[in-house]
Amino acid sequence: MQKLLLEFQNLDDMRIVKKDFEKELPFEVIASLNSRETNRALSNKSIQLIIMQTKEFRQPEADRISELRKLGYSYPLLIIQDHMTLLAERTSMEEEKVVFLDKPFSLKTLRGMTRKLLTARNISKQQFKRYSTNQRVAIETFISGENVETKMFNLSKGGAYFEIPKKPGIGVGELLRLRFKLDQVEKEHQIHGRIVWTTPKGHSAGGFGIGVKFIKNEDIYRHLLQNV
């Protein structure tokens, strides 16, 4: 049986999530209230997912991830936070196996993300330098066909970040087609991507923030089949 560990700062929150998981998911759930208990559990058990709770993802939390990697933990981490920070945004783009979930959210959403992370194939991480921008971008979803025009505020070889005025009818895991024109070369680019995180209030213009990881054009149909 696969095992997941909850490292929560709030005991009541942990009890609620642990009870829900044990009732609804076919995984062993281990509780931890601090990093020492987590490290002890890792030394005694093979754990495939760690869910961490924090108010804000700052450098201490980033250092904690590095510590876990040095201890040999190579599986995904799901980090629950009050809102998205710049460091969390950068980490989500650069570290494939770190996923963020902002409050508020439902237990159903948390269960769904947990199940996906425990059953998905491992993907090696990639790191890319990111650039600030202020480009217009047209977004089209593959499933619903929804079209949105907005602005992109960050761009890298691996992904992008943009904000829209109000919450869209799309969420984490959605596949998108992005079209944007780079002012420097006056040429329109088209690329496919997958939403890896969202936040109700973005840090650039205050709109609904969306972080996207780019995927290869030839892989788009494989991703579509996985979502069926």
**Model confidence pLDDT, tens digit, residues 38-66:** 999 998 888 999 999 999 999 999 999 99
Domain 130-227 belongs in CATH node 2.40.10.220: yes
Closest CA to 93 of 158, 144, 46, 30: 158
Top CATH class, 3-119: alpha beta
Residue 70 neighbours by CB distance under 10 Å: 8
pLDDT tens digits, residue range 125-138? 334 555 677 888 88
Measured between alpha carbons, how far is 211 from 91 in angstroms, rounded to an integer?
11
CA 133 to chain centre: 22
pLDDT over threshold 70, residue 194:
yes
Sign of CA dihedral 199, 202, 206, 210: negative
Q: Which of 60-74, 102-116, 136-150 has the lowest mean pLDDT?
A: 136-150
Domain ranges for the chain: 3-119, 130-227
Predicted local distance difference test score (pLDDT) of residue 201: 75
Q: What is the pLDDT of residue 148?
A: 83
